[in-house]
Structure 1
Amino acid sequence: MGSLRDKVNAFVEEKLRNYKVNVRGNKVIHDTILGTNLFYAHEIAVLDSPILQRLRRISQVDVVSLIWPSGNHNRFEHSLGVAIIGDKFIRSLAEKGLVKNFSEELYCIRMAGILHDCGHGPFSHMSEMLFQHCDDLKEEKKSDPKLAATNPNAHEILSYLIVTSEAFKEFYNKNIATQVWGRKMDLDFIGELIIGYISDSQKGFLVDIINGAFDADKLDYIQRDSHFTGVQMILDLDRLFYTLDVITVYNEIRSREEKRLTIDVSGVSTLEQIVFDKMMLQSTVYHHQKVRAAEGLFSSIFEEIFEHKLTVYGKQFNSAADYLYLTDDDIYNLAKQSDIPQSCSILAHNLLNRNLPKRALAISGRTVTKETVNNLWKLMRLYENPKEMKSIREKIADEAKKTEARITYKDIWLDMPKIAKFKEGDQWAIKSEGHDKGYLTLHDLFPVDQWVKAFSQNKWMGHVYTYQQYREVVHKASKKVIEDEYDIKFNDFSYICCKIQ
């Protein structure tokens, strides 16, 4: 079978085999969010490659456009944005004399921004929720010391493996370094930037720009996602760049001092904005109940593929690398496939035509009684256990069959969103010359931990979904099963909130 690294290398070889670099020089690209920006010839050569062009067909915010029609921006646009903001980071630090090798570090940061999301699968984080459980990805995470040390997200692992693959290095050195640019680039270092691995303690601040507490990735997606969904956000980037600095922090895990990215204490208000914006996007956009319903359909498509051991587009999706061969269009096209089970094509058809499951039961701190609200955590942790979630679906179906014999567990979706965790309070070092260490953490300056706790308690909401014709039956069945299994008592709002009648 081979390792995940071998499979990713094969993917890169296939995608780049017939790609002929044809770049005449630098190009100016206009971005809706960040304006007009110059991209260098060697960057254009990478951007034009099939590895990056596939990102045009992968939504930045998975199925959000089904609810916010203008939220159609893609991973390609976002990658450009991260490169542009990374450039701003380096230039801001250079103006303060904090960058030693300006050109080299500027080019590395920009290229890392371009490549940081090349490992995403169809509908971005929706497919990531599936391939993160693949055995070969788990094994790669254990066997690669850099991955074991950083515990990156699943898509970051695939991006890292693409960038550091022998096939990509050979392509880059043969076609870009020699023919387009005239200089090589340290692709291993770029891979480290993507996963947040600090091999050189003097370059820790560079890693923070791409994978850190207030990195270029966050600064772009907050602006981009809020703009295209129409959710108004405030983010004072000018203030942030003005207060940027680099400080020496002692890392207890690695037993060494490292140079890390920071801001002056006068710029803390911008960090507050970032935390608040992330929380608002999560509750308003990413965890909107209709978005979660659509994500349920997507998951069910792959549930059918796994159950019937289907080969779709030549892949069985037992490897994380298999998801690299697909984009959003391929999922929608399953609606037109005649060589797969009808149950699978119907799910894809429903997703394509926005025929979404409906709420049958709302689960939150406001829909359970005060006497049992402290037991809600038992449900909130279910996102970690897909097998238990499937078992609950089956029990709800068995209960519902007493009234409606046609129902199966496949007509029921149990959605327990991942509990919001914001590590910024501990990760952000704030320069403060009056402090013994020379810096404070964010939660030393304002109660970010309490903010996050209050957010989780008041904004988190799970649901049981089903088709329109089964809502009443499934409401009663799911209410009974969950109350019995988890010692929870629902109030009337658990029904009213679903707008069943």
Structure 2
Amino acid sequence: MNEKVFRDPVHNYVHVEHPIIYELINSKEFQRLRRIKQLGTSGYTFHGGEHSRFSHCLGAYEIARRIVSIFEEKYPEAWNSKESLLTMTAALLHDVGHGAYSHTFERLFDTDHEEMTRQIMTQEETEINRILAQVSPDFPDKVASVINHTYPNKQVVQLISSQIDVDRMDYLLRDSYFTGANYGQFDLTRILRVIRPVPNGIAFQKNGMHAVEDYVLSRYQMYMQVYFHPASRAMEVLLQKLLQRAKALYTINKDFFVRSSPHLIPFFEKSMSLSDYLALDDGVMNTYFQNWMTSSDKILSDLAQRFINRKVLKSIVFSEKNEPHLHILRKLVNQVGFEADYYTAIHRNFDLPYDVYHPNSDKPRTQIEILQTDGELAELSSLSPLVKSLAGTKHGDNRFYFPKEMLSQTGLFRDIHTQFLSYIYNETFIYGE
């Protein structure tokens, strides 16, 4: 086929040269990703962050396409060109199983986007499966095994999932661009120049180490400044509580949800199929939330209005030492008239920006390997003092969320309001000693 191109604000052009890739892009399961936001509730904080998982997957594919082209040209002795289509396909489809508001939804309804990705690839009912099977009967399972990290070629697996992979490289640049936060910018061109295949994975030439170092720091900054923003987390808490209330009400008022949100019924009933899962997207969910605004249940109606109209919850940071005292704040919220089970929440966000390989951990991470001039490999943090300072250390905080009304300067609950503020602004309570 003739080359197809997609104009892209991050990569300039996304080049599609293989007919299988083009068919996959045009499949209904992949087109669905246009209706799934990449950043979920972060778009309520960074108003430019309205981009989709569709554009991110195209971007991850484009980085993979560039890398395999470099490998085929420069390292034919170390890279098997027969792996190139598999790598590009896995990059394109790595997020195809993400659902509406996926991470929040997953926790409440016990779904797994990686498992759904594998089902989309391997179940015969999907367009994606039929397209993949055109390559070979076992190709759908091969692509799924890359996503599952069980494919035997570690070069392919690490390009798709490791501490520096095509997924992370694209979403850092893309999320940085669309949110307007420059923290996520790094020198992709330089990284592509120094990346190379090695017998058990991928590595980076020593003369490009600082570009890799900059990538790690950019990732750290994006998590601290964008992904862990308190307002985004407040909206995530609201969404969680809204769905939690709907789930609880379904058992006593099924007719309302049959009328207002029919595609959620299989999830309430715990009888969800793949087609049920694919019927949901962010737009469908938002329509349901708008329907719930008219509910006779005051809590469901109020939480829906808060989410749709971005009435964010407020929060305080607390230490683990003082967590047992949070029941006092919940009691105050109840006294004012808010049901604490639905209007308060503990939200924990911590990230490990970089970690050396620990083979005995539950989920061991791959190392970032730097190729020395003598041909030996060295782990990145052993060469970089900056990365060493991040290695093995978690960054983030614990937050207690509550209704903004608790901070009102007027109202009938002035005494409680004063008491509430005394707890919030008590330095010992918030930060510990």
Q: TM-score range by the shorter chain?
A: 0.7 to 0.9
- Alpha-carbon distance, 1:177 to partner: 5.9
Alignment of 1:448-463 (within 5 A): 448-451=387-390, 456=395, 460-463=396-399
1:351 aligns with 2:307: yes
| Other-structure match for 2:225 | 284
- Aligned residue type for 1:229: T
Question: d(CA) in 2 for partners of 1:424 and 1:265?
Answer: 19
Residue 120 in structure 1 maps to residue 98 in structure 2: yes
Do the aligned partners of residues 413 and 32 (structure 1) sit closer, same or farther apart at CA in structure 2, a change above 3 Å counting? same
C-alpha contact 1:209 1:215 (8 A) present in aligned 2: yes
Q: How far 1:479 moved relative to its partner? A: 7.7
Are 1:471 and 2:407 matched, yes or no? yes
CA separation in 2, counterparts of 1:492 and 1:172?
Answer: 55
Residue 167 of structure 1 corresponds to: 125
Matched, 1:431 2:371: yes
Q: Residue 337 of structure 1 aligns to a residue in which SS?
A: helix
State whether residues 45 and 176 of structure 1, in contact with CA within 8 Å, keep that contact through their aligned partners in structure 2.
Answer: no
CA deviations on 1:61-93 (whole Å, 9 max, x unpaired) are 112222211111110000100110011111111
CA apart distance, 1:228: 0.6
Map of 1:246 onto structure 2: 197
Letter in 2 for 1:445: L
1:446 aligns with 2:391: no
RMSD, aligned α-carbons: 3.2
Q: Which residue does the alignment assign to 2:89? A: 111
Deviation at 1:406, TM superposition (A): 1.5
- Report sequence identity in percent: 23
Superposition map of 1:352-371 within 5 A: 352-359=308-315, 361-363=316-318
TM-score (norm. length: structure 2): 0.80
What do residues 481-501 of structure 1 show as CA deviations (whole Å, max 9, x unaligned)?
x9xxxxxx9417959xxxxxx
Secondary structure of the corresponding residue to residue 418 of structure 1: strand
1:253-264 paired onto structure 2 within 5 Å: 259-264=200-205
The correspondence for 2:65, drawn from 79, 87, 92, is 87
Aligned position for 2:331: 398
Q: Distance in 2 between matches of 1:354 and 1:247?
A: 49
**SS class of match (1:119):** coil
Q: Which residue is equivalent to 1:140?
A: none
Cα-to-partner distance string for 1:261-316 (whole Å, 9 max, x where unaligned)? 11122222122112111111111111111111111111011211222235542323
CA distance in 2, matches of 1:210, 1:75: 16
Distance 1:100 1:280 in 2: 33
In structure 2, the CA distance between the partners of 1:269 and 1:289, relative to structure 1 (3 Å rule), is same
CA distance in 1: counterparts of 2:66 and 2:106, whole angstroms: 29
Distance 1:60 1:450 in 2: 30
Q: Could you say which residue in structure 2 is the equivalent of 1:268?
A: 209
Residue 158 and residue 411 in structure 1: after superposition, are their counterparts in 2 closer, same or farther (change >3 A)? closer
Q: Structure 1 residues 277, 126: closer, same or farther in 2, change over 3 A?
A: farther
CA–CA distance in structure 2, aligned partners of residues 120 and 33 of structure 1:
22
Structure 2 distance, partners of 1:428, 1:193, is 19
For 1:409, the equivalent position in structure 2 comes to 340
Which runs of no fewer than 5 residues in structure 1 stay unpaired?
A: 1-23, 138-153, 249-258, 365-374, 380-390, 483-488, 496-501
Structure 2 unaligned segments of length 5 or more: list them: 252-256, 358-366, 409-415
8 Å Cα contact 2:133-2:140 kept in structure 1: no
Matches within 5 A, 1:23-422: 27-39=4-16, 40-98=18-76, 100-102=79-81, 104-131=82-109, 134=110, 154-168=112-126, 171=127, 186-199=139-152, 203-232=153-182, 233-248=184-199, 259-309=200-250, 312=261, 313=263, 314-317=265-268, 318=270, 323-337=277-291, 342=297, 343-359=299-315, 361-363=316-318, 375-376=320-321, 396-401=329-334, 404-410=335-341, 412-422=343-353
In structure 2, C-alpha distance between the alignment counterparts of 1:162 and 1:405, rounded to whole Å = 48
CA contact (8 A) 1:332 1:348 kept: no
CA contact (8 A) 1:195 1:211 kept: no
Displacement of 1:243 in angstroms is: 1.4
Instruction: Show the counterpart of 1:385.
Output: none
Partner of 2:5, secondary structure, is strand
How many pairs are equivalent? 396
SS in 2 for 1:282: helix
Q: What one-letter code is carried by the residue in structure 1 that aligns with 2:389?
A: Q
SS at structure 1 position matched to 2:196: strand
User: Take 1:173 and 1:298, find their aligned partners in 2: how far apart are those partners?
Assistant: 33
Q: Give me the whole-angstrom Cα distance separating, in 2, the residues matched to 1:122 and 1:392.
A: 35
- Deviation of the 1:454 alpha carbon: 6.5
When residues 172 and 410 of structure 1 are mapped into structure 2, their CA distance, relative to the original with a 3 A threshold, is closer
Distance 1:219 1:409, change over 3 A: same
Q: Decide whether aligned partners of structure 1 residues 397 and 173 sit closer, same or farther in structure 2, where only a CA change above 3 A counts.
A: closer
Whole-Å Cα distance in 2 between the matches of residues 71 and 197 of structure 1?
A: 33
Kept in 2, the 8 Å contact 1:247–1:431? The answer is: no
Give the TM-score normalised by the residue count of structure 1: 0.70
